[in-house]
Chains A and B, each alone.
Chain A
Amino acid sequence: MMFNQESRRLLLQGNEAIAHGALAAGCRFFAGYPITPATEIAELMAAELPKVDGTFIQMEDEIASMAAIIGASLTGVKSMTATSGPGFSLMQENLGYACIAEVPCVVVNVMRGGPSTGLPTCPSQGDVQMARWGTHGDHPVIVLATSSVSDSFSITVKAFNLSEQYRVPVILLSDEVVAHTRECVQLPEQKTIRVVDRIRPSVPPDWYKPYEGDTRGVPHMAAFGDGYRHHVTGLVHDEYGFPTQRPSEVLQFQQRLTKKITRGFADIMITRGFMLEDAEVAVIAYGSVARSALKAVEDARKQGVKAGLLQLITLFPFPRSQVTPVLEQCRAVLVPEMNMGQISREVQRVNQNRCVVAKHNRIDGQFITPNEIHGHLIKL
């Protein structure tokens, strides 16, 4: 098996690293539909899953793909799908089902230019707010962003762990630049990787309440076939899993869904700081743009500008506790994005006029270069 190989140094593209990360995290089921620029993830999973007793299936569309991974996850198998904008649109219906029925799964969206068919081979970060709010209704969800090939491996593992831990779908946003860049990466030994599995019920089947939260607000999850027969529905349900419209039960249910994520904030909100200690200006960036931003900040430092970078790995829940100190410390921050300002809006919301929040947006299907960010940064 590939993960027992001594040398784990490989030349990989971001999409391939996501597939390797998924396998390392214990993913054993993948359902998908071909779409540029995400297809390589499905191709690698189709090749590798049968070798590890896992299952790959190409479904008739992304609606079916999303549904199939939920079905598989309900039998206790870690599951994933991968797509891009148009497919992600189709997945929203069943993504909501995974939220309400609290089914762990990972959904990768390799962002390309939109809306609609848009720019299939060009990078974009246009789906950020959609990842948070795409499916209807108030709902909990975790959104992570990868910026490099090695990140694509480790953040995919993290995505599975969070999904299992909180029984929530995790959306992993990549973009066309990360997806198709090839880099030499040293993948960690399997035994060094922290893998989290959902908590199975420990009570006898007669005592099992499938939707009763534990101290963290997360219900323990039995697999179909385990002897814990229970009902799973997309309707709002009580602790037994049965539909309810009783206001007190509805409220309790909705609050638990939100609170299980709120309680985990410290765990879930992941960021990386670079040269922030004495920074007077900072860049807040994510995805492939964060790498351009790091170069821009380094160049600015060489010129004596006290610049820093806060890279967001977790986009939602929005890492307010890490962003706020940067806003308090700096006189200005720059938020470069390949969209019209989907995260800068969040930064402004948190800012409350503490400092200047400047936007740098690019929506012509082109990557944001270090020079562009540097040019903007030194004028702040």
Chain B
Amino acid sequence: MSVSAQAIRHEYLRHNKKFPHVWCPGCGNGIVMAALLRAVYRMELSKDEVVLASGIGCSGRMPTYLDFNTLHTTHGRALTYATGVKLANPALNVVAIMGDGDATAIGGNHFIHAARRNLNLTAIIINNSIYGMTGGQYSPTTPFGSTSTTSLYGHIEHAFSIAELAVTAGASFVARATVFHGELLDRLIEQAMEKRGFAVVEVISNCHVQYGRRNKLGNAVEMLQSFKENSVTVTRAAKLSAEELEGKTTVGVLTDREMPISTEEYQKVRQRASTTKGKV
């Protein structure tokens, strides 16, 4: 990779959209966006064949800034719109970008069914453990005991583990990184987009403004430091006991398996339907 970051920015950011973007200084969303752009660049995809769909929230604004076919949908529904796009035109390379509340609360049902259905789609979930845009309410990944504007006295519910949920729901490829692990994140997003089947990348990110501040986790740099300290790779995690893994984030590829892809299976359905004689 000898190409400069500036060259990639020029190629993929929209020039006719007035910046600045809506994200706070230090937000992890920019790191994820840059990793996505580098993946598209390395894969040499034409901008015309990429569709980027999002839901609502801070992550939902990402498509606005990028020069692809972009689709900013309703809250939690990015994957359902993406499903329609992909089925109607399987030649398009479709990526859905979501937040933790977006993908696993209001869009939780769509998320597990998209994993089960196994279309050739990529889902990137930026998990910052909070609803940032609306001002810091608890999400399905807010840790037990932490503070948010809707759990002022300590959160009493338990958090989803998004990547593990995707594995159980049947996704072909599931990986996790944090915004600290820049190079790993680059690799994982590219692997996910190359993967034939439903591919999920969960990215642990920092919302130091709405989550970190209330829980005394420090600024953006300090939160990224803690991601570094609390992460273990998949290979190392395999050698650790459950107690040793307590409070740790496993990063790397959790699942990579080959399964029938529904767009390709539907092509077979078309052939079978066309050759079946009989009733209308």
Least Cβ–Cβ distance between B89 and chain A, in angstroms: 4
In the complex, which residues of chain A have a beta carbon less than 8 angstroms from the beta carbon of B47?
A: 229
8 Å CB interface, A1-35 against B: 2, 10, 28-29, 31
User: With contacts A51-B270, A69-B84, A233-B64 known, is A94 near B70, CB below 8 A?
Assistant: no
In the complex, which residues of chain A have a beta carbon less than 8 angstroms from the beta carbon of B24?
A: none
In the complex, which residues of chain A have a beta carbon less than 8 angstroms from the beta carbon of B64?
A: 231, 233, 242-243
CB closest residue in chain A, given B69: A224
Q: Is there contact, CB below 8 Å, between B84 and A231?
A: no
Least Cβ–Cβ distance between B107 and chain A, in angstroms: 9
In the complex, which residues of chain B have a beta carbon less than 8 angstroms from the beta carbon of A251?
A: none
| CB-defined A-B contacts under 8 Å, sample of 15 | A2-B280, A50-B269, A57-B83, A59-B80, A63-B80, A67-B73, A71-B53, A71-B84, A94-B77, A224-B92, A226-B48, A229-B69, A231-B70, A233-B71, A233-B72
Q: Select which of A53, A59, A93 is within 8 A of B270 by beta carbon.
A: A53
Confirm or deny: A75 has a beta carbon within 8 angstroms of a beta carbon on chain B.
yes
Q: A67-B84, A74-B85, A224-B85 are in contact. List 20 more A-B contacts (CB 8 A).
A: A10-B280, A50-B266, A50-B269, A50-B270, A55-B88, A59-B80, A59-B113, A60-B109, A63-B77, A64-B80, A68-B87, A71-B81, A75-B88, A94-B77, A225-B51, A229-B68, A230-B69, A231-B63, A232-B71, A242-B18
CB closest residue in chain B, given A97: B74
Least Cβ–Cβ distance between A114 and chain B, in angstroms: 23
CB closest residue in chain A, given B269: A50
Least Cβ–Cβ distance between A80 and chain B, in angstroms: 12
Confirm or deny: B6 has a beta carbon within 8 angstroms of a beta carbon on chain A.
no
Q: Is there contact, CB below 8 Å, between B92 and A72?
A: no
Least Cβ–Cβ distance between B102 and chain A, in angstroms: 13
Q: In the complex, which of the residues A75, A76, A231 has the most CB atoms of chain B within 10 Å of its own CB atom?
A: A231
Q: Is there contact, CB below 8 Å, between B48 and A51?
A: no
Least Cβ–Cβ distance between A1 and chain B, in angstroms: 9
In the complex, A31→B117 CA distance in Å?
14
Range for the number of chain B residues in contact with chain A: 35 or more
User: With contacts A71-B71, A71-B88, A232-B70 known, is A227 near B81, CB below 8 A?
Assistant: no
8 Å CB interface, A46-63 against B: 47-48, 50-51, 53, 55, 57, 59-61, 63
Confirm or deny: A77 has a beta carbon within 8 angstroms of a beta carbon on chain B.
yes
Interface residues of A (CB under 8 A from B): 2, 10, 28-29, 31, 47-48, 50-51, 53, 55, 57, 59-61, 63-64, 67-77, 79, 93-94, 97, 223-227, 229-235, 240, 242-243
In the complex, A70→B89 CA distance in Å?
13
Q: Select which of A61, A77, A225 is within 8 A of B91 by beta carbon.
A: A225
Confirm or deny: B110 has a beta carbon within 8 angstroms of a beta carbon on chain A.
yes
CB closest residue in chain A, given B16: A240
In the complex, A62→B83 CA distance in Å?
14
In the complex, A226→B261 CA distance in Å?
25
In the complex, which residues of chain A have a beta carbon less than 8 angstroms from the beta carbon of B113?
A: 59-60, 64
In the complex, A50→B274 CA distance in Å?
7
Q: Is there contact, CB below 8 Å, between B273 and A50?
A: yes
8 Å CB interface, B231-280 against A: 266, 269-270, 272-274, 280
Confirm or deny: B82 has a beta carbon within 8 angstroms of a beta carbon on chain A.
yes
In the complex, which residues of chain B have a beta carbon less than 8 angstroms from the beta carbon of A10?
A: 280
Confirm or deny: B9 has a beta carbon within 8 angstroms of a beta carbon on chain A.
no
Interface residue SS majority, chain B: helix
In the complex, A61→B110 CA distance in Å?
9
In the complex, which residues of chain A have a beta carbon less than 8 angstroms from the beta carbon of B49?
A: 225
User: With contacts A68-B84, A75-B88 known, is A47 near B273, CB below 8 A?
Assistant: yes
In the complex, A77→B14 CA distance in Å?
27
Residue-by-residue, is B75-107 near A (CB-CB < 8 Å gives 1, otherwise 0)? 001001111111111011000000000000000
Q: Select which of B68, B74, B270, B273 is within 8 A of A67 by beta carbon.
A: B74
Least Cβ–Cβ distance between B9 and chain A, in angstroms: 17
Q: Select which of B17, B71, B109, B273 is within 8 A of A74 by beta carbon.
A: B71
Least Cβ–Cβ distance between A239 and chain B, in angstroms: 11
Least Cβ–Cβ distance between B237 and chain A, in angstroms: 32
In the complex, which residues of chain A have a beta carbon less than 8 angstroms from the beta carbon of B63?
A: 231
CB closest residue in chain A, given B275: A51
In the complex, which residues of chain A have a beta carbon less than 8 angstroms from the beta carbon of B67?
A: 229
CB closest residue in chain B, given A59: B80
Q: Is there contact, CB below 8 Å, between B266 and A68?
A: no
CB closest residue in chain B, given A60: B113
8 Å CB interface, B182-238 against A: none
Q: Is there contact, CB below 8 Å, between B51 and A224?
A: yes
In the complex, which residues of chain B have a beta carbon less than 8 angstroms from the beta carbon of A229?
A: 47-48, 67-70
In the complex, which residues of chain A have a beta carbon less than 8 angstroms from the beta carbon of B77?
A: 63-64, 67, 93-94
Least Cβ–Cβ distance between A282 and chain B, in angstroms: 40
In the complex, which residues of chain A have a beta carbon less than 8 angstroms from the beta carbon of B109?
A: 60-61, 64
Least Cβ–Cβ distance between A169 and chain B, in angstroms: 14
In the complex, A105→B85 CA distance in Å?
14
User: With contacts A60-B110, A224-B51, A229-B48 known, is A234 near B73, CB below 8 A?
Assistant: yes
Least Cβ–Cβ distance between A66 and chain B, in angstroms: 8
User: With contacts A67-B74, A93-B74, A233-B72 known, is A31 near B266, CB below 8 A?
Assistant: no
The 9 closest A-B pairs by CB, nearest first: A71-B84, A68-B84, A67-B80, A72-B88, A50-B273, A233-B72, A71-B81, A64-B80, A72-B84
Q: In the complex, which of the residues A60, A79, A230, A240 has the most CB atoms of chain B within 10 Å of its own CB atom?
A: A60
Least Cβ–Cβ distance between A102 and chain B, in angstroms: 14
Q: Is there contact, CB below 8 Å, between A234 and B87?
A: no
In the complex, A232→B73 CA distance in Å?
8
